[in-house]
């Protein structure tokens, strides 16, 4: 376990033992460096920012951190500055233009933050909006705001060291909002250090580890994995903006190749995107032979993606055994389960019809109706994972699907100032017991031979004719049925129609197909494919403009958000189909 009791102690140790070692580099693309921080420089900047904070707020106050994607080093310095001042950091993505004040005031309201930390560039935008908006709440209008990139480094000498305990709150990690309103998970220094040790062991990290990361730094996978894990190891982290992935995805692989990175990863969609954009010209010159841990998490890990990516990039030196499916969530700091590094991912094929009855029946990959489910590894250290029937609260058998419950030192302390939500999620009790209290993840899955398999989200599973239907399975069926439909850009959900659950599909169209959309052909393909694969009738289909489906900051489809916008008529629809009460097809084409 960690020799440190808190993160401030950890960074100060690095600043003394490795003062001139590069801790972080930031790239504008795959090879161009625009800034860096040594451990000593980071320690100095953290102390200076902490000194300014100590003159504005008291220990235990919340500070809202809002930094543009290209200001990654500023975010890191501000985050550590909060820890040095014993101020609770509250992470937040950069708000969308036109909605900045509304989004910031909402996060301030949820967290009780009393100071805003950002760059001067973004602060100027905020000040302009505040000046012209008469409806801004008074609390925010006079809210202390600090541009950390303008803090005088000489203030480091005024920093007052404070006592920090392992259970001192470090920051509030807000959930993605993919299944509801974002909630602030209370994360302590002990939670973080325990999770970093878990990741170190799970990923088999050592002093040769080099991390390349593009994930948003306010996101748990970006913060805990790409920023704090390298700090924990004392090894370099090469960082870039997530905008780089969206605009030029191969810049990610260029960085891995150029810096000989050993660890890098992201959600499944990122690997799919690279497969989609791969050409012989882009593959030429890439060397991925040092890539030992290609972690995949935050959304469903697909066996098809693993196989396709491994095949396409094999000639670049990529080894399939580098793929590392893992499972985690903000409520557990980050990491819950992961496999054995150097071993190929485990893909289990189960009977789809049995799965809809929460039964696990393994079948051949050649059999019709099979579902490929990728194993997300095993537990590490003191983590305990059990599968529980969410209704009876009794543990499930190995061949049954149930809710995933977790216990361990990485589990957060609850949701900030949300007692009922904390009780419902963090205080799960098995039937007839009073302890221990488990984290109820809300995810569905099963355990076999110690390996965890994820099958879906409890809150999103649909029920048709007494059969369970997993949205991600329906979405996969839809996206395979016609070339005009974009991968990783659709949502399946149920709405109540005349007292019955009815299936709705919203799905983005590939940009190249928008002008020549064969709508009737697509509707027929979706209805037939879903009917055959899942024995469910499609009630409505909405085809969306490319890039418009609601997603979280980490790329997860917001199914609840899609459902809400569908019912409100607020989706960017290019074509829509729906059954009327006489079961006749009603189609509506929207002018492009």
- pLDDT tens for residues 482-525? 999 998 899 999 887 765 678 999 999 999 998 888 999 999 99
Find residue 538's DSSP bridge partners: 503
Min mean pLDDT across 9-23, 193-207, 300-314, 405-419 is at 300-314
Average pLDDT over residues 421-433: 96
For the chain, the average pLDDT equals: 90
Residue 591: pLDDT band with limits 50, 70, 90: very low
Starting at the edge strand found earlier in the chain, the sheet holding 500-509 runs 485-497, 500-509, 538-544, 573-579, 585-589
Min mean pLDDT across 16-25, 51-60, 529-538 is at 529-538
CA distance 316 to 284: 8
H/E stretch holding 336 reads strand 335-338
CA distance 483 to 436: 50
Which structure tokens are listed for 30? 């795959």
8 Å CB contact between 490 and 478: yes
Share of the chain above pLDDT 70, in %: 92
Q: Which of 61, 59, 218, 80 minimizes the C-alpha distance to 143? A: 61
Q: Given this model, what pLDDT does residue 98 score?
A: 61
CA distance 153 to 291: 37
Q: In a 10 Å sphere around its CB, with 0-12 CB exposed, 13-18 middle and 19+ buried, how is residue 26 labelled?
A: buried
Higher pLDDT, 42 or 552: 42
Average pLDDT over residues 283-298: 95
Residue 323: pLDDT band with limits 50, 70, 90: very high
Q: In a 10 Å sphere around its CB, with 0-12 CB exposed, 13-18 middle and 19+ buried, how is residue 5 labelled?
A: middle
Which structure tokens are listed for 25? 């580099």
Higher pLDDT, 448 or 128: 448
Phi/psi for 312 (5° steps) reads -65, -40
Nearest 10 degrees: CA dihedral of 314, 319, 325, 330? -90
Segment 560-579, tens digit of pLDDT: 889 989 999 999 999 999 98
- The DSSP result for 457-499, as a single string, is ETTT-EEETTEEE-HHHHHHHHHHS-TTEEEEEEEEEEEEETT
Q: Which fold has domain 462-589?
A: GMP Synthetase; Chain A, domain 3 (3.30.300)
H/E stretch holding 222 reads none
CA distance 257 to 542: 41
CA distance 520 to 155: 67
Q: Which fold has domain 7-243?
A: Rossmann fold (3.40.50)
The answer, yes or no, to whether residue 466 has pLDDT greater than 60, is no
Distance linking the first and last C-alpha atoms of the chain: 59
Domain with CATH 3.40.50.12780 in the chain: 7-243
Which structure tokens are listed for 408? 């361990």
Q: How many CA atoms lie within 13 A of 572 on its CB side?
A: 12
What are the strands, taking DSSP E only, across 189-249? 211-213, 237-240
8 Å CB contact between 342 and 324: no
Domain with CATH 3.30.300.30 in the chain: 462-589
Which structure tokens are listed for 327? 């499972």
8 Å CB contact between 226 and 76: no
- The DSSP result for 102-143, as a single string, is HHHHHHHHHHT--EEEE-HHHHHHHHHHHHH-TTS-HHHHT-
Average pLDDT over residues 191-199: 97
Average pLDDT over residues 333-340: 95
H/E stretch holding 456 reads strand 451-457
Q: How many CA atoms lie within 13 A of 226 on its CB side?
A: 30
CA distance 360 to 397: 10
CA distance 139 to 4: 38
Q: In a 10 Å sphere around its CB, with 0-12 CB exposed, 13-18 middle and 19+ buried, how is residue 157 labelled?
A: exposed
CA distance 422 to 239: 34
Residue 581: pLDDT band with limits 50, 70, 90: very low
Share of the chain above pLDDT 90, in %: 69
From residue 4, give the alpha-carbon distance in Å to each of 194, 199, 344: 10, 16, 34
Segment 126-176, tens digit of pLDDT: 888 777 776 666 566 657 889 999 999 999 999 999 999 999 999 999 886
- Look-up of token digits 């109540």: 496
Higher pLDDT, 258 or 590: 258
Total-model pTM: 0.82
Rg for the chain (alpha carbons), in Å?
Answer: 24
């Amino acid at each position: 376990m960690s020799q440190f009791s808190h993160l401030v102690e950890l960074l100060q140790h690095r600043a003394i033992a490795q003062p001139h070692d590069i801790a972080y580099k930031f790239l504008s693309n795959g090879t161009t460096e625009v800034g860096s921080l040594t451990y000593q420089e980071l320690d100095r900047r953290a102390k200076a920012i902490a000194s300014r904070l100590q003159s504005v707020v008291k220990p235990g106050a919340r500070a809202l951190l809002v930094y543009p994607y290209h200001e990654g080093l500023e975010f890191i310095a501000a985050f550590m500055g909060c820890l040095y001042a014993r101020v609770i950091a509250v992470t937040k993505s950069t708000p969308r233009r036109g909605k900045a004040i509304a989004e910031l005031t909402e996060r301030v309201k949820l967290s009780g933050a009393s100071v805003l930390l950002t760059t001067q560039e973004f602060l100027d935008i905020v000040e302009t909006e505040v000046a012209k908006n008469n409806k801004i709440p008074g609390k925010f209008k006079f809210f202390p705001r600090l541009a950390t990139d303008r803090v005088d480094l000489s203030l480091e000498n005024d920093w007052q060291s404070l006592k920090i305990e392992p259970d001192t709150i470090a920051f509030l990690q807000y959930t993605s909002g993919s299944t509801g309103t974002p909630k602030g998970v209370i994360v302590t220094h002990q939670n973080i250090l325990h999770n970093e040790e878990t990741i170190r062991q799970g990923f088999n990290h050592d002093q040769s580890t080099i991390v390349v990361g593009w994930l948003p730094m306010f996101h748990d996978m970006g913060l805990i994995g790409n920023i704090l894990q390298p700090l924990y190891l004392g090894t370099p982290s090469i960082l870039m903006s997530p905008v780089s992935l969206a605009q030029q995805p191969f810049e990610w692989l260029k960085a891995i190749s150029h810096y000989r990175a050993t660890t890098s990863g992201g959600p499944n969609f990122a690997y799919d995107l690279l497969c989609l954009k791969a050409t012989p010209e882009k593959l030429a010159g890439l060397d991925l032979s040092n890539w030992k841990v290609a972690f995949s998490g935050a959304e469903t890990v697909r066996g098809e993606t693993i196989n396709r990516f491994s095949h396409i990039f094999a000639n670049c030196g990529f080894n399939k055994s580098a793929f590392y499916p893992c499972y985690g969530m903000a409520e557990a700091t980050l990491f819950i389960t992961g496999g054995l590094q150097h071993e190929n991912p485990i893909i289990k094929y189960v009977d789809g019809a049995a799965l809809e009855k929460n039964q696990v029946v393994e079948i051949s990959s050649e059999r019709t109706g099979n579902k490929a489910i990728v194993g997300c590894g095993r537990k590490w250290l003191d983590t305990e994972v059990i599968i529980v029937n969410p209704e009876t609260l009794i543990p499930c058998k190995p061949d049954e699907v149930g809710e995933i419950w977790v216990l361990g030192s990485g589990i957060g302390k609850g949701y900030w100032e949300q007692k009922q939500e904390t009780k419902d999620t963090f205080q799960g009790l098995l039937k007839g017991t009073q302890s221990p209290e488990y984290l109820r993840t809300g995810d569905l899955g099963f355990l076999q031979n110690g390996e965890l398999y994820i099958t879906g989200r409890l809150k999103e599973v649909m029920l048709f004719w007494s059969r369970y239907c997993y949205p991600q399975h329906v979405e996969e069926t839809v996206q395979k049925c016609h070339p005009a439909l974009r991968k990783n850009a659709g949502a399946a959900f149920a709405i109540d129609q005349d007292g019955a659950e009815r299936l709705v599909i919203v799905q983005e169209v590939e940009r190249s197909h928008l002008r020549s959309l064969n709508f009737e052909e697509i509707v027929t393909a979706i209805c037939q494919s879903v009917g055959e694969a899942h024995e469910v009738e499609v009630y409505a289909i909405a085809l969306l403009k490319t890039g418009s489906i609601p997603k979280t900051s980490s790329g997860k489809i917001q199914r609840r958000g899609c459902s809400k916008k569908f019912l409100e008529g607020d989706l960017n629809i290019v074509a829509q189909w729906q059954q009327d009460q006489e079961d006749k097809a009603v189609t509506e084409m929207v002018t492009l």
